Amino acid sequence: MPNIKSSERSVKTDAERRARNFAVRSTIRTVSRKVVESVTAGNTDEAKALLINASKTIDKAASKGVVHKNAAARKKSRLARKINALAN
């Protein structure tokens, strides 16, 4: 445990931020998994609807700084490629 007052406060805020970031990353994994499951089941229309929701979630996380913007773009691109491969 730190001795300096500001360090004690930063430990507390770091823990809050870490918990919030963990929750957001968990949500990203969940929505991504739902898209992939829909693709493997062959539901193109459902997968496209889920991709819109997943893209919104990923973009929101990138804007808050939870994930890097290039990582967010990569995740969205990979999901879109799976759906496009299913359509073709």
In whole numbers, what is the pLDDT of the chain averaged over residues? 95
Q: In this predicted model, what pLDDT tens digit does every residue of 59-69 receive, in sequence order? A: 999 999 999 99
What pLDDT does 20 receive? 95
What pLDDT does 57 receive? 97
Domain extent listing, the chain: 5-87
Beta strand residue intervals within 1-88, DSSP E: none
Mean pLDDT to the nearest integer, 65-84: 96
Q: Using 50, 70 and 90 to split pLDDT, how confident is the model at 1?
A: confident
What pLDDT does 86 receive? 85
Full-model pTM: 0.86
Nearest CA to 32 out of 49, 48, 51, 45 is that of 51
The CATH architecture annotation of domain 5-87 reads: Up-down Bundle (1.20)
